[in-house]
Chains A and B, each alone.
Chain A
Amino acid sequence: MPGSDVLRTMLPEHLLLGGMVVLIVLALLRMSRALALPVAALVIVASSGAAFWLASLGVSTEPFLGQLVVNPVIYLTKGSLLLLALPVLLMSRTEFEDVEFPLLLLCSLYGLALLPSAENALVLFLGIELLSIPTYALIVLAFKRPQAAESALKYLVLSGAASATLLMGLSLVYGATGSMATSAFTMALASGDLMARTAVVLVLLALYIKAAVVPFHAWAPDTYEGASVPVTAYMATLSKAAILVVALRLFGNAVPAGPMVGIMAGLPLVSIVWGNLAAMKQHSLRRMIAYSSIAHAGYLFYAFLGAPEGRFEAITFYIITYSAANLLAFAALPAHANDVQRDAMESLEGLFHRDPMAATLIAVAMLSLAGLPPLPGFTAKFLIFKSVLAAGFTTWAVLGLVGSFLGLYFYLRVIMRMFMSADRGVVPATTGAALSRAAGILCLAATLALTILPGWVLARL
C-alpha cells in the first residue's frame, strides 16, 4: 500500500497526534491558558469527523498488515468514542484551566483510537497502556481533592497488575497457538489444553480487573472518588468502553461453552447484583456512579453469552448509550465552591428548584441508566438480554434482568432528591458552567437521537 494511503486511513490518529504537538507548542509559547481547550476541542471534532468521513467513503483495508485493520464499522466505533470525549473536554473547564488536561486527554484518546483497529495482541496492549498512563496523571491533577494521590496510586497499582496479567495471558496464548493475532483467542478458547485455558482465564481476569467486575472492583469507587469530576466521567465511560472494545477484539467470535459459561456469566451476574446493592447506600453521586458502573460492566460482559453475530452491535450500542447518559449526569452536575460537596447527595437536594435545567438533565441521565423505556438505556439492555436469551441461556438472562431491577431504586432516589425535597439553598459557583452545560446538551442530543432512531444507529453498526 502506498504511504499516502496509510496516512489517509489513519487520519483520526494523525490528527490527534498533530493536536498534541500543537498543544505542546502552545504550552512552550505560554499561550496555552486561553487556547488549549478550543484547540483540543477542534482536534477531537476533526478527528472524529475524519473517522466518520472515512466510514462514509467505505474505506476497508489493513494499513499495516496483521497489525491494524480499518473498515466502516471500526471507523464508526472510533468516531463515536472520540466524539464522546468532547463533553469530557468541555466539562473540564469547571476544574482545569491550563494545558495539562487537554494534552493528557488527547494522549489517552490516541490509545483509545488504536483499540478498535488492533489486529495484533501487542498493538492492543500498546493501546491500553497509551490509554491508561495519561489517566494516572489525570487523576493526580485533582490537587483540590485530598485523596487524589492515593486514588491515583491505587489505580496505578491495580491497573499495572492487570496489565501484567494480560501480558502473561497473551504470551501463553502465543505459546499455545503460535500466533499473536487477536483471532488466536477464539482458537485458544475452543482448544481444551491446559495452557490455552490458563491463558484465556488470565486475559479474562485482566479485563475484569480493568472493567471493575466483582470481586476485582474495589479500586473503582475509591479511584473515582479521588479524581476530579471530568476525570471520573472519563474513566467511568470511555476507559470502560475501551476495555469492552478490547474484549470484543479478543473474544468477539468466541462461543462460551462448558465451564467457561460459569466464568463468563457468574462474575458479571455477581457484579450486577453487588454493584446495584452497594450503590444504594452511597452518599456521593460519584461513588454511586462507580458502583453502578460495576453493575453496567456486568451487563456488558453478559453480551458475550449471546451469539457472536449480534455481539458487536449490542456492546457498541450499549457503551455509546451508557457513556452518553453518564457524561450527561456529570456534565449537568452544578459546580460548587467546595469540590467535595459538589457531588455529595445532599447538594442535589431540591436542585430542581434552583436549577431546573440541570435537574432535568440529570433526571434524564438517571432514567436512561436505570434502563426505563423509552430512553435508550432500555433499548441497549433489551439488545443484550435478547441475544443472551436467543443463545438459550434463559436462566442467566432472567437472573440478570432481575439483578438489573435492583438498580432502579437508587437511580430514582437521585431524582427524588432533586425534585421532591425542599431546596437547601446552596449557592452554586459558576466557573465554566456554560461550557459544561453545552457538554450536557450535546449528551442530551445524543441520548434523544438514540431514543428516536435506535434502528438507524443499529443498521450502521
Chain B
Amino acid sequence: MSEALMLNVILWLPLAGALALLLIPRDKTSEVRAVSTVLLGIQFVLALVLYRAFDGGVDGLQFATNVPWIAEWGVHYAIGLDGANVLLVLLTAFLGPLVIVGATHAIEKDVRLFHVMVLLLQFAMMGAFLAQDLFLFYLFWEAMLIPMFFMIGIWGGARRAYATIKFVLYTAFGSILMLAALIYLAIQLQAQGGVASFAFADLQKVTLPLAVQMPLLGAFALSFAIKVPVVPLHTWLPDAHVEAPTPGSVILAGVLLKMGTYGFMKLGFPLFPDATRQLTPLLMTLSVVSIVYGACLALVQTDIKKIIAYSSISHLGYVMLGLLSLDLVGIQGAIVQMVSHGLVAGGLFLLVGMVYERCHTRELAAYGGLARQIPRYAVFFLVFTLASVGLPTTSGFTGEFMSLMGAFTAAWPQHLDGNNGPLILAVVACTGVVLGALYMLRFALTFLFGPTKTPHGEALSDLSGRETFLLTTLAVAVFWLGLFPNGALQKTERAAKHFQQAVMAAGMVSDAR
C-alpha cells in the first residue's frame, strides 16, 4: 500500500467503521466494541507507520492526495502530512483506541450509537488536521461539532443539555464569521490571480492591505480562540468538560482543543502575517492572562474535573505564547506542548473518570488517602500530575520549557522594539508554572494522602488490567516525549521554520511601511 493511499485509509476508515457499526444489531455491545477497537487500532498502526516514514528534512507536504471535488468553486479534496500536523495526526490516532477501551464501563446505554459518534468524531478530527484546502478544512471543522454535541448531550451529566448547547453555540458563532472571512479570501484570490481555489498554498499568495487583514484575522482568530480556549472566550469549556462523559472529556482535552492552536499555526497567522504582527502584543497578553487566570481558577476548584478543565486553559496558554514568540525554540515548544497536553490531560481525565465510576462523585473534599487504598492508581496519578506540573523527563517539561524560552526571546513588531513587553510577559507567564505546581500538588495531596476516606466509605478496588494497560500506554508516551523529544522535533522543525518565516518576513515589510 502506498503512503498516500495509507493516509486516505487513515482518514476514511473511521467513517467506514461508523457505517459498518450500523449493520451490527444494537444489543451486540461487545461486538460493537471489538469492531471499533480493531478499526481504530488499525488506524493507529497506519499512523505510526506514516509517522516513521515521514521525512522531517523535506519541505512541504508528504503523502499528499489532491483531487478536484467541487471544480466550479476550486474546491479540492486535498490532504497531506507536513511538520505541522504529523504529530497531531499521530496523537489523534493514538488516543482513539484508548478512548474506546476506556469507555467500556463509562458508557452503558446506547453503546452502538456512542461508538458511531466516536468514529465520526475521529473522522472529522483527522480530516481537519489533514485538510490542505480551506473549504475542506471548514467542513471537517464544523462537522466535529455534531458528534460532540450528541456525545455530551446523550451521555453527559445532569446539566448536559445546557452544556452541550452552549458548546455548540459558542463554537458555531466563531465559525460563522470565519466562513465569511474565508469566502472573502477566496474571492480576493480569484480577483488577484484569476484562479478559483481554496488551497492553503494558493491562499497564502493573496496580498491584502493591513486594514483588510485585521478583520479577517479577527474572524479566524475568534473561531480558533474560542476552541483553544483563550480567556475571555473560555466559559464553555468547564461546562462542557464537567458534563461530558469521561471519553468525551478525553477527546475534548486530548484533541479538540488542539484544533484551535493548530488553526492559528496553520492558517490564522500565516495567512494574515501583517495583522498578526500588529496584534502580537495583544494576543501574547491574552495568552499570558489565560495561563495565570486559568491556573488561579484551577486553584480554587472543588470539583476534580473542573481543576483539570481550568488547567487546560492554562496549559494551552503556553502553546499560544510559544507560537506568538515567533522564535524557533518557542514554536517547537508549542508543538510539543500541544501533544503533551493531549497525553497528560487525557490521562488525568481517564484517572478522574476511574474514581468517578467507583464513587459517583467529583467532590475533591470527599476523597483522601487513596494512595494507601489503591496504590497502583496513586502511582499513575502522581506520574500524570508531575507531567502536568512540568517535571523534567516528562513531556510537560519539554513543552513548557521550550515555549517559555521562546517567550523570553520573543520578536515584537519593530515599532515596539526597545520596550520590555515580551520580557515582562514571559516573567508573568513563569508564575503560571508555580501556580500550576501549587494546584496540582494540592490536588494530589488531598486526593492521595492524608486521612483515608471515600465519599460513602466504600472500599475501592485498584486498577483493573484494562485500566492499567490504558494508563501505562499513555505514561510511556509521556516519558518518550519527555526523554527523547529530538525525534519529534526533527519532524516538525521545517514546519516551525516555515511558520516563523511566513509571519516574520511579511511583518518586516509592514513595519517598514
Contact = CB atoms under 8 A, between A and B. Distances in A.
A419 B154 contact: yes
Given A416-B161, A455-B70, A367 B183 contact: no
Given A408-B169, A420-B160, A458-B72, A372 B143 contact: yes
Contacts of A374: 139, 142-143
A401 B180 contact: yes
A374 B174 CA distance: 17
A408 B166 CA distance: 11
Contacts of A394: 180, 184
Contact of B187 (A378, A390, A408, A409): A390
Nearest to A456: B70
Interface string A363-392: 000010000111000110010011001100
A415 B143 CA distance: 16
A416 B179 contact: no
Contacts of A379: 70
Contacts of A398: 177, 180
Contacts of A386: 73, 183, 186-187
A110 B160 CA distance: 49
Given A373-B138, A373-B143, A397-B180, A408 B160 contact: no
Q: Which of B150, B165, B180 has the most CB of A within 10 A?
A: B180
Given A398-B177, A409-B165, A372 B142 contact: yes
A389 to B, nearest CB: 5
A348 B75 CA distance: 38
B145 interface: yes
Contacts of A402: 176-177
A405 B172 contact: yes
Interface string B58-83: 00000000001111110100000000
A175 interface: no
B179 A401 contact: yes
A408 B169 CA distance: 8
Interface residues of A, number: 30
Contacts of B502: none
A404 interface: yes
Looking at chain A's contact residues, is the secondary structure mostly helix, strand, loop, or mixed? helix
Nearest to B174: A405
Given A373-B139, A408-B172, A416 B165 contact: yes
A454 interface: yes
B146 interface: yes
Interface in B246-272: none
Contact of A420 (B146, B161, B176, B177): B161
Nearest to A455: B70
A1 interface: no
Given A404-B176, A408-B168, A389 B161 contact: no
Contacts, number: 83
A405 B222 CA distance: 15
B211 to A, nearest CB: 13
Interface residues of B, number: 34
Contact of B71 (A382, A416, A419, A455): A455
Contacts of A459: 71-72
Contacts of A454: 70
Contacts of B164: 416, 420
A372 B145 contact: yes
Interface in B356-415: none
Contacts of A416: 153, 161, 164-165
Nearest to B184: A389
Q: Which of A379, A404, A412, A454 has the most CB of B within 10 A?
A: A412
Interface string A427-461: 00000000000000000000000000011001100
A378 B75 CA distance: 14
Contacts of A458: 70, 72
A389 B183 contact: yes
Contacts of B176: 401-402, 404-405
Q: Which of B75, B143, B145, B176 has the most CB of A within 10 A?
A: B176
Interface string B102-146: 000000000000000000000000000000000000111011011
Q: Which of B140, B160, B172, B177 has the most CB of A within 10 A?
A: B172
Contacts of B153: 415-416, 419-420
Nearest to A399: B180
Contacts of A373: 138-140, 142-143
Contacts of B145: 372
A113 B179 CA distance: 36
B191 to A, nearest CB: 9
Contacts of A378: 139, 142
Given A389-B180, A420-B160, A412 B72 contact: no
B469 interface: no
Q: Which of B149, B173, B179 has the most CB of A within 10 A?
A: B179
A398 B183 CA distance: 11
A286 B270 CA distance: 47
Contacts of B140: 373
B149 A412 contact: yes
A409 B184 CA distance: 26
Contact of A372 (B68, B69, B70, B146): B146
Contacts of B150: 415, 419
Contacts of A390: 187
Interface string A331-373: 0000000000000000000000000000000000001000011
Contacts of A455: 68-73, 75
B322 to A, nearest CB: 30
Contacts of A372: 142-143, 145-146, 172
Interface in B147-196: 149-150, 153-154, 160-161, 164-165, 168-169, 172-173, 176-177, 179-180, 183-184, 186-187
A406 to B, nearest CB: 10
A151 B164 CA distance: 38
Nearest to A394: B184
B162 to A, nearest CB: 10
A455 to B, nearest CB: 4
Contacts of A389: 180, 183-184, 187
Contacts of A409: 165, 169
A77 B72 CA distance: 19
Given A372-B146, A389-B187, A415-B149, 11 more contacts: A367-B146, A378-B139, A385-B180, A386-B73, A386-B187, A402-B176, A405-B173, A412-B149, A416-B165, A420-B160, A455-B70
18 contacts: A372-B142, A372-B143, A372-B146, A382-B179, A390-B187, A394-B180, A398-B180, A401-B177, A402-B177, A405-B172, A409-B169, A412-B149, A415-B149, A415-B150, A416-B153, A455-B70, A458-B72, A459-B72
Interface of B: 68-73, 75, 138-140, 142-143, 145-146, 149-150, 153-154, 160-161, 164-165, 168-169, 172-173, 176-177, 179-180, 183-184, 186-187
